[in-house]
Chain A
């Protein structure tokens, strides 16, 4: 491929040199005076606009049609259905405008090219037409705004009470996942408590934190058919949670927790059979530039049937943060945190509220 690029560049260079020579000749002929004919070049350029419309239009249709399948990501969330249908509806509307205006633009360019002895039509304004083509876009926009606003309001409404809570924390350069455990409450965290073992900065004085547990490092689980509420934060710079198959995206901002809830509609294995790809996995990517490893912040999200999910939770919740941190206090900070936990839970709870 590089050779092609090099070959093209060389070709271009040759063309340049040829023209350089030609210009030299032309310049010597015309030097000193300027006279302009509107001649063949004008016809050629006008014709090229028409050719451009046809050739590029055909290329566009062909490339779009042949990439359509590759560019449509399989969908696995409930609100995604509304987003996708609105997207393609809007695409159809703007596609229509795009085609119509381009036909007019290029056909007029061709049709009304300069002709000797012809005179342009003096037509400075027409208020009626102006009003029509102000009102029509305004009405279309109003309809789009309204449907967009309805969908947006639904997506961003507060999560239902029965939502499964999962915390996603971005850091350079991976994602960390925490589940709230049996009490369905995430324990208090503080960035000053973070160290090599306590990556979340979990405050073990908080009783809500006692049953919090992590996911495995490379994948986390959520149930199908149930609202899943992602509580999103970041501990160093801004990251952004992107689950392309679920039409989910939300920034992870240090110092400002955010959230996004959605309902997964297809398990990983259902998607594997639907796409015919036995290795299919839902991936979580980062979409806010966060440094050197921005392109490699990958995490797998596994969607299970609710029963399987419960089984996974039952197994995973044995590995709470508190047992892990107590087992291996890495340095003094963690040790201090742990000591105070074992000291007095009541006092700790008060402290965490401060």
Chain B
């Protein structure tokens, strides 16, 4: 925990030492880099914390993949690191479950929610809407520090003697409520719940800010229909978070009551560890409803920001307007709305009324339509473009590929009849790791590579980025494609080993292969980490608008100071996608260029505004 702290302000400090804006002179070091209220600094804080968590989350997955890939091997070399969790070279099965649980929790919440939205919503909203900062800089600062506190607690829980939470990232009670049932449900689960409660506070503080800022602080001329798709995406993400996270909070609170104060919200008729408990009348399925009421919007909270990021990057680097701008907004709105009414497709075989299964199958499959529209629009944007493959663009194209590959299997899993066989198998694991895990990671990488020059005033090394991209892209498919086969064969999730079953005693080589691919993929991320840190200090210096992009953030100085624009705020005249407009001398026209200056390229309906 202390190491995060040190690396945070150190990196941020050094990333900034080459600029001293007028606004900053009267600020102390602590105000400027630690308890900063500048959205750009807070964004970087989220980014560094997210990267820290991603390394931990990836490390955990490498550990449990080793167990799955080499079930017969003895890992004595891990004993010095993991202590009693490795006994005679064998991973403790409860520790295995803890690894899976923490990998999920960390990746979904700490990396792909806080790390992704925290970084890009914070960084881009004020810059792209032409605002000096967030609506409330102070709340924004609190948002990070609540997240930091949540992180410290979650990180600390990894080192508890009874281990961190181990009942799966979905923490279904009664398992998560009963320390007798699994040791991770002791102190580890308490810390998980406390950490998540703080995390939710952080998300709400951030979300309120994002929404308020987008609604109220757009610069002159920037109507909602001229917003870059990134902002639309961040805006809708924040709305989803604001509506969904309180429900998780209530579920966590009720679980805390059941665990510590003897209530029976989720517990009923339980006999465990030689003792009949007094709880009656509770329903474990109620928790699942509450959890997935957040849980499903949560996967869109993870993926929506990357929709925006990728749309922006694909348009910029194809040198073409995004195809169907309004359809893109409409489909995001549709997805955001529908995401609230599909949650029970995670529960087809939970024992809930089968009639609900029919309703949720119907609603779930509808959501495929706006998702399909988005994919077609991205592909149409590439069509007859003039594509410049920056690293960000590579990740964006790959994002579309991963989103398709993971998305189509959602049509199978959303069908309740088919879900009977596939529920909780590796087919599900493969599906969501492609569609929301890898795809969201790719979107995040795309965003980092694309906006790095604006964040740090320097460029990332492109060749190293290409290498990072191609290894990662290939490995992601090598990992998750074969997982579908294993899932079709019925291999259940969260199994320490499958060798006990005759039915699942196959695909050994496949699992070994997946593990090797996973470790190579993890190792390749250090190329990124190296490139990232190296480029902060030594990267080539960036120009103001290195990608020849239209949005407002590129009209700021190379290293924007506190307040973003040294002079008056820019005024917006046009939508953000005037790329390769016929008649224009350049192949891009920034949003702040009035129509009166572009008479050669104005379309008939734009002539009135000259």
B261: CB under 8 A from chain A? no
B241-293: which residues lie under 8 A (CB-CB) from chain A? 267-272, 274, 276-277, 280-285
Which B residues contact A (CB, under 8 angstroms)?
Answer: 69-70, 73, 93-94, 97, 167-168, 172, 174-175, 178, 181-182, 267-272, 274, 276-277, 280-285, 318-327, 349-351, 354, 357-358, 361-362, 365-366, 368-369, 372-373, 375-377, 379-380, 382-389, 394, 397, 400-401, 404-405, 408-409, 411-412, 415-418, 420-421, 423-425, 459, 461-464, 466-467, 470, 473-474, 477, 481-482, 485-486, 488-490, 492-498, 500-504, 506-507, 510, 512, 515-516, 519-520, 523-524, 526-527, 530, 534, 538-543, 546, 577, 579-582, 587
Chain A, Cβ-Cβ closest to B281: A255
A71: CB under 8 A from chain B? yes
8 A-B residue contacts at CB 8 Å?
Answer: A1-B73, A27-B539, A119-B587, A123-B380, A237-B272, A292-B182, A294-B494, A298-B501
- Asked if B412 and A91 sit within 8 Å, CB to CB, the answer is yes
Q: Which chain A residues lie closer than 8 Å to B502 at the CB level?
A: 279-281, 283
- Asked if A255 and B464 sit within 8 Å, CB to CB, the answer is no
- Asked if A87 and B418 sit within 8 Å, CB to CB, the answer is yes
Q: Which chain B residues lie closer than 8 Å to A115 at the CB level?
A: 386
Per the bound structure, the CA–CA distance linking A221 and B519 in Å amounts to 44
Q: Which chain A residues lie closer than 8 Å to B325 at the CB level?
A: 124-125
- Asked if B270 and A255 sit within 8 Å, CB to CB, the answer is yes
A314: CB under 8 A from chain B? no
A209-243: which residues lie under 8 A (CB-CB) from chain B? 232, 235-238, 240, 242
Candidates A1, A236, A258; contact of B351 at CB < 8 Å: A258
Chain B, Cβ-Cβ closest to A113: B387
Candidates A23, A42, A104, A137; contact of B389 at CB < 8 Å: A42
- Asked if A256 and B318 sit within 8 Å, CB to CB, the answer is no
A32: CB under 8 A from chain B? yes
Q: Which chain A residues lie closer than 8 Å to B506 at the CB level?
A: 70
Per the bound structure, the CA–CA distance linking A2 and B66 in Å amounts to 9
| Nearest chain A CB to B452 CB, angstrom units | 12
Given contacts A101-B375, A152-B416, A236-B270, A30 and B323 within 8 Å (CB-CB) = no
- Asked if B386 and A63 sit within 8 Å, CB to CB, the answer is no
Per the bound structure, the CA–CA distance linking A245 and B421 in Å amounts to 9
- Asked if A294 and B503 sit within 8 Å, CB to CB, the answer is no
Given contacts A238-B172, A247-B420, A294-B495, A48 and B470 within 8 Å (CB-CB) = yes
- Asked if A86 and B418 sit within 8 Å, CB to CB, the answer is yes
Q: Which chain A residues lie closer than 8 Å to B281 at the CB level?
A: 255
Q: Which chain B residues lie closer than 8 Å to A133 at the CB level?
A: 372-373, 376
Q: Which 10 A-B pairs have the closest CB atoms?
A: A255-B268, A156-B354, A258-B351, A94-B408, A244-B490, A121-B384, A120-B580, A45-B389, A148-B415, A151-B417
- Asked if A46 and B464 sit within 8 Å, CB to CB, the answer is no
Given contacts A86-B417, A112-B383, A242-B492, A105 and B401 within 8 Å (CB-CB) = yes
Q: Which chain B residues lie closer than 8 Å to A190 at the CB level?
A: 269
- Asked if B350 and A86 sit within 8 Å, CB to CB, the answer is no
- Asked if A248 and B384 sit within 8 Å, CB to CB, the answer is no
Candidates B182, B358, B489; contact of A71 at CB < 8 Å: B489
Q: Which chain A residues lie closer than 8 Å to B354 at the CB level?
A: 152-153, 156
Binary B-proximity of A117-146 (CB < 8 A = 1, otherwise 0): 011111111100110011001100100110
- Asked if A90 and B323 sit within 8 Å, CB to CB, the answer is no
Q: Which chain B residues lie closer than 8 Å to A22 at the CB level?
A: 463
Per the bound structure, the CA–CA distance linking A41 and B394 in Å amounts to 12
Chain B, Cβ-Cβ closest to A136: B372
- Asked if B379 and A105 sit within 8 Å, CB to CB, the answer is yes
- Asked if A23 and B523 sit within 8 Å, CB to CB, the answer is no
Chain B, Cβ-Cβ closest to A72: B488
Given contacts A86-B415, A256-B283, 14 further A-B contacts (CB under 8 A): A42-B389, A52-B474, A63-B481, A70-B489, A86-B418, A90-B412, A119-B386, A120-B580, A121-B580, A149-B358, A236-B174, A244-B421, A244-B503, A254-B270
A208: CB under 8 A from chain B? no
- Asked if B351 and A251 sit within 8 Å, CB to CB, the answer is yes
A317: CB under 8 A from chain B? no
What interface size band does chain A fall in?
35 or more
Per the bound structure, the CA–CA distance linking A52 and B543 in Å amounts to 33
| Nearest chain B CB to A270 CB, angstrom units | 17
- Asked if B418 and A32 sit within 8 Å, CB to CB, the answer is no
Q: Which chain A residues lie closer than 8 Å to B387 at the CB level?
A: 42, 46, 109, 112-114
Binary B-proximity of A53-66 (CB < 8 A = 1, otherwise 0): 00010001001100
Per the bound structure, the CA–CA distance linking A30 and B458 in Å amounts to 12
- Asked if A288 and B424 sit within 8 Å, CB to CB, the answer is yes
- Asked if A156 and B357 sit within 8 Å, CB to CB, the answer is yes
Given contacts A48-B470, A288-B172, A237 and B181 within 8 Å (CB-CB) = yes
Per the bound structure, the CA–CA distance linking A36 and B394 in Å amounts to 17
Q: Which chain A residues lie closer than 8 Å to B361 at the CB level?
A: 145, 148-149, 152
A160: CB under 8 A from chain B? no
Given contacts A33-B540, A94-B412, A287 and B423 within 8 Å (CB-CB) = yes
| Nearest chain A CB to B176 CB, angstrom units | 9
| Nearest chain B CB to A174 CB, angstrom units | 12
Per the bound structure, the CA–CA distance linking A223 and B575 in Å amounts to 69
- Asked if A291 and B175 sit within 8 Å, CB to CB, the answer is yes
- Asked if B540 and A112 sit within 8 Å, CB to CB, the answer is no
A194: CB under 8 A from chain B? yes
A165: CB under 8 A from chain B? no
Q: Which chain A residues lie closer than 8 Å to B322 at the CB level?
A: 124
Per the bound structure, the CA–CA distance linking A296 and B277 in Å amounts to 25
Q: Which chain B residues lie closer than 8 Å to A26 at the CB level?
A: 461, 463
A5: CB under 8 A from chain B? yes
Q: Which chain B residues lie closer than 8 Å to A49 at the CB level?
A: 397
Binary B-proximity of A162-192 (CB < 8 A = 1, otherwise 0): 0000000000100000000000000000111
Q: Which chain A residues lie closer than 8 Å to B541 at the CB level?
A: 31-34
Q: Which chain A residues lie closer than 8 Å to B534 at the CB level?
A: 23
| Nearest chain A CB to B451 CB, angstrom units | 15
Per the bound structure, the CA–CA distance linking A119 and B504 in Å amounts to 55
Interface stretch (choices A8-16, A303-311, A321-329, A344-352): A8-16
| Nearest chain A CB to B64 CB, angstrom units | 12
A338: CB under 8 A from chain B? no
| Nearest chain A CB to B183 CB, angstrom units | 9
